[in-house]
Amino acid sequence: MDTTLAKISDLRANWLRAHADRAEQLFINNEWRHSVSGATFRCMDPFSLAHWGHIAMAGPVDVDAAVSAARAAFDGGAWPRTAPARRAALLARLGELVESSIDEIARTLVFENGKTFEEMRRMTQSFASDCRFFGAMAETVHGYTVSSNLPGYASYTVREPIGVVAAITPWNTPLGLLGWKLLPALAAGNTVVIKPSEVTPVSTLMLGDLVLEAGFPPGVVNILTGDGTTGAALVAHPGVDKIAFTGSTRTGTAIAKLAAERHARVSLELGGKSPNIVFEDAALEKAVAGVIGGIFGASGQSCNAGSRVLVQRAIYDEFTAALVERTRQLRTGDPLDPQTQFGPLAFRGQYQKVCEYLSIAEAEGARLLLGGKATDSAGLFVEPTILGDVDNSWRIAREEIFGPVASLIPFDDEAEAVRIANDTVFGLAAGLWTENLRRAHRLIPQLRAGVVWVNTYRMGGHAIPFGGYKQSGVGREMGIDALNAYTEVKSVWINHGE
């Protein structure tokens, strides 16, 4: 082991030793509290497989306390009536505090979900930037006046906050996807109860101290940790006015059903099986790099992963050979190592799921071009895997694997590419690789996806909405669309005549 790797190994060992018995409480009404039951659970480092921390398990009584605090801060508190400029200042201050703790937060994220330190650092920086963006947006919430067709009347609309928002976030991008919910909700004047994944709870809990330091009033931001039973109690609570969720389509469907029973608002960012389409006139090297980033970034654990790689038959063999060779060069290792490009999967359940799909691929007759092996002897690693000559009717092409598995599907012409791309229950994203911009403009409206990238993949920004068609979700996050999604529209009529 060289000196650099030895230092990284020591850093990991020291961090785990220091956090082995770390005790984390619930954050309710600007106070840290033990759960009423006293029950706790532990986190696991997906690289060393060491368990660490003791995290409070919130039960129904804790859920009720958090929702009641948020309800009081909304109904009887001043938050919805706080001047937009003040809300903007608090959000900007929160962003500053996150930036001042960026390395500590990013390192904690690495020990929670196994993504590389550099990726987690970028994600934390994005959260801070999103704080500033939505802080500025707080001062842009407005309605419009309408010319009345009735004499003696004036009419206009106003946008008002919905109320108490439950923000339920996933383990793959904990803070990034929390920011997409928390920040527009706060900017619009809502109060929030956050429930992070039990896989990645501590990075979210770290925000509690920063919320206090920033000066947010009690009850405006609350954090509950726990498993699916905690989330279910939060979704079912009658004091919650809106549920914002990112996760699996199956769970999102269950949430939508529960919300429908009491007409709670929902925004759901769910699964995907996104096509990344490579035409014969694509810039080959850029397309290969884009496909690799699209499916193997974050070890494939991303909802918008380009897991179906559609390649025009004229370049299928050439492209496949280049993709295999470039993927073979990815450096796998400790996610704390700056040289690592590919880390472990986040937790054992996800590791087992991906392994099951590798067996399914073999049974369906996929041609294994690279990878296909998994080991949990030194981290939860599944090799970057490329499967060739996949039929779009197979399970590996239709079901979300959420792992580093690319399915290559050949096509002949534009019509076939569009047919295959749209032949899915999902509609989150799509990629096009072509030097023919006329072709790109021709195909963009034909693709049933909420995001279409041309000669790039997985690009995003806080000013551009993100979300999907079909079973990929309901609503949009980021941009003005996100801010509007946390408001109700009120119409006003005034009789100013005699």
| DSSP label at residue 315 | G
Instruction: Report, as an integer, the average pLDDT of 72-87.
Output: 93
The pLDDT tens digits for 363-392 are 999 999 999 999 998 899 999 999 999 999
Distance CA 287, CA 58 (A): 46
Adjacent-strand bridge partners of 154: 494
The pLDDT tens digits for 436-490 are 999 999 999 999 999 999 999 999 999 999 999 999 999 999 999 999 999 999 9
Residue 276 scores a pLDDT above 90: yes
Residue 2 scores a pLDDT above 80: no
Report the pLDDT value the prediction gives residue 407, as an integer from 0 to 100: 98
Helices (H) and strands (E) in the chain, counts: 16, 25
Residue 260: count other Cβ atoms within 10 Å of its Cβ.
10
Distance CA 236, CA 222 (A): 17
Sign of CA dihedral 352, 354, 355, 357: positive
Instruction: Report, as an integer, the average pLDDT of 145-173.
Output: 93
Torsion of CA 453, 459, 463, 467, to 10 degrees: 60
Cβ-in-10-Å burial (0-12, 13-18, 19+) of 423 comes to middle
* Residue 301 exposure: Cα atoms within 13 Å on the Cβ side: 26
The model's confidence at residue 3, banded by pLDDT at 50, 70 and 90, is low
Instruction: Report, as an integer, the average pLDDT of 425-445.
Output: 98
Sign of CA dihedral 54, 107, 212, 466: negative
Nearest to 29 by CA among 210, 208, 234, 240: 208
Helix (H, G, I), strand (E, B) or coil at 415: helix
Nearest to 269 by CA among 185, 178, 198, 353: 178
Q: Which two tokens stand for residue 67?
A: 């929702």
Distance CA 465, CA 422 (A): 21
Distance CA 72, CA 486 (A): 18
Residue 5 scores a pLDDT above 90: no
Nearest to 388 by CA among 317, 333, 473, 483: 317
Instruction: Report, as an integer, the average pLDDT of 32-49.
Output: 97
Torsion of CA 280, 285, 286, 289, to 10 degrees: 120
Domain 275-461 architecture: 3-Layer(aba) Sandwich (3.40)
Name the residues annotated as catalytic: 269, 303
Instruction: Report, as an integer, the average pLDDT of 186-205.
Output: 98
Adjacent-strand bridge partners of 56: 40
The model's confidence at residue 149, banded by pLDDT at 50, 70 and 90, is confident
Report the pLDDT value the prediction gives residue 151, as an integer from 0 to 100: 87
Give the C-alpha distances (Å, rounded to integers) separating 49 from 29, 174, 203, 210, 284. Answer: 34, 20, 18, 29, 39
Give the C-alpha distances (Å, rounded to integers) separating 82 from 77, 89, 138. Answer: 9, 11, 11
Backbone angles phi, psi at 137, to 5 degrees: -65, -25
Instruction: Report, as an integer, the average pLDDT of 149-161.
Output: 92
What contacts 109, CB < 8 A, 6 or more positions away?
115, 120, 123, 124, 174, 175, 200, 203
Q: Which two tokens stand for residue 451?
A: 């995001």
Q: Residue 206's Cα: distance from chain center in Å?
A: 18
Give percent of the chain above pLDDT 70: 99
- Domain 8-270+476-489, classified CATH 3.60.21.10, yes or no: no
Distance CA 359, CA 113 (A): 24
Write down the domain spans for the chain.
8-270+476-489, 275-461
Q: Cβ distance 32 to 221 under 8 Å? A: no
The model's confidence at residue 148, banded by pLDDT at 50, 70 and 90, is confident
The pLDDT tens digits for 308-347 are 999 999 999 999 999 999 999 999 999 999 999 999 999 9
Q: Cβ distance 38 to 226 under 8 Å? A: no
Instruction: Report, as an integer, the average pLDDT of 122-151.
Output: 93
Helix (H, G, I), strand (E, B) or coil at 277: strand
Backbone angles phi, psi at 188, to 5 degrees: -80, -10
Report the pLDDT value the prediction gives residue 147, as an integer from 0 to 100: 87
Q: Cβ distance 192 to 28 under 8 Å? A: no
Sign of CA dihedral 432, 437, 438, 441: positive
Residue 424 scores a pLDDT above 90: yes
Residue 193 scores a pLDDT above 50: yes
Average pLDDT, the chain: 96
Residue 447: count other Cβ atoms within 10 Å of its Cβ.
21
Residue 1 scores a pLDDT above 50: no
Cβ-in-10-Å burial (0-12, 13-18, 19+) of 336 comes to buried
